[in-house]
Amino acid sequence: MTSASQPRRLDGRVALVTGASRGIGAAIAERLAAEGAHVVLVARTVGGLEEVDDRIRAAGGAATLIPQDLLDGAKLDMLGPAIFERFGRLDVFVAAAGLLGTIGPIAHADPKDWDRVFGVTVNANMRLIRTTDPLLRRSDAGRAVFLTDRYAQTPVAYWSAYAASKAALEMMARLWVAETQGSSLRVNLLDPGPVATGLRQTAFPGEDPATLQTPDMAARAIVEFCVPACDLNGERVDLTPV
C-alpha cells in the first residue's frame, strides 16, 4: 500500500473496476483505493465484494459496492448515469472481469457457453464503454484499462471462446482509442501475464501457484496506467515479469 509519506496520486478521483470481488480485479481495486480513489466495485458475488470493501476500509480507503451481473445489459446502461448522480465524475475504468468458458475444439463449442463468454468479455464492455465514455471524456485525465491475454494475439488450439472474445475486446478498445483522439482520455490494453487466480487454476490445474505472480503483484503494475501521469494511449503492454 502507499505509505503515509508518499503522495496519493488519485486523491479526489473516482474509479470503476469490474470483476472486483476476487483475483486481479480485487487487487486493483485495493491499490486504487490506496492511491486515494473512491472505488466503485462491480461484480456478481456479494460476499466477495464485501470482503474487498472491508479490506479497503480497514486500510483507510473508500468504496461503493454494486452487485451486478455483467450479462444484464439494461442495468449496465444505467451505471454511468448512476455514477454521475452520486459522484459527478468518473476518472478511471478498469475492465478486469473475465470468463474462461470451456476449453476445447471450436468445432464442438457449446453456443450457450460461447454466448456467455462473449457476453461478459465483449458485450458487457461495449455497454460499459457507452455508459462511461461521456464521464471519462469530461475528466481532466480519464483513464481506461482493459485486461487482455496472449491468446488474443496468437491462435492456440482449444482456447475457443476465451481467445476469440479477448481478440474482439482488443479491437473494441483500439476503436475507442481511434474515436477519442484529441481528448484527455487514454485507453490501453494490458496483459498481466500468468497470475495465480481462480481462472488460471481452472485452465492449468496442475500448475503450482507459487511459481506465478500474485494478483497484488500484477495490480501494482496495472495501477500505473490509471494515474494522471500516464500518457500512454492505444498501447498493448505485456506486463509479464522478465
CA–CA separation, 209 and 212 (whole Å): 5
Candidate list 151, 162, 176, 225, residue with the active-site label: 162
Q: Return the closest-CA partner of residue 79 out of 40, 115, 24.
A: 40
Please give the Cα distance from 117 to 154 (Å, whole number).
18
Q: Which grid coordinates belong to 63?
A: 468504496
User: Using CA atoms, how far apart are residues 120 and 137, in angstroms rounded to an integer?
Assistant: 24
97 sits in which H/E element? none
The Cα 34–Cα 27 span in angstroms is 11
Catalytic status, residue 151? no
Alpha-carbon distance of 72 to 31, in angstroms, equals: 27
Burial 53-81 (b: 16+ CB within 10 A, else e): beebeeeebebbbbebebeeeeebeebbe
Query: What whole-number distance in Å separates Cα of residue 154 and Cα of residue 94?
Result: 24
Contact of 156 with 177, CB cutoff 8 Å: no
Q: What is the DSSP string of 210-235?
A: GGSB-HHHHHHHHHTTTSTT----S-
DSSP run (H or E) holding 96: none
Catalytic residue numbers read: 162
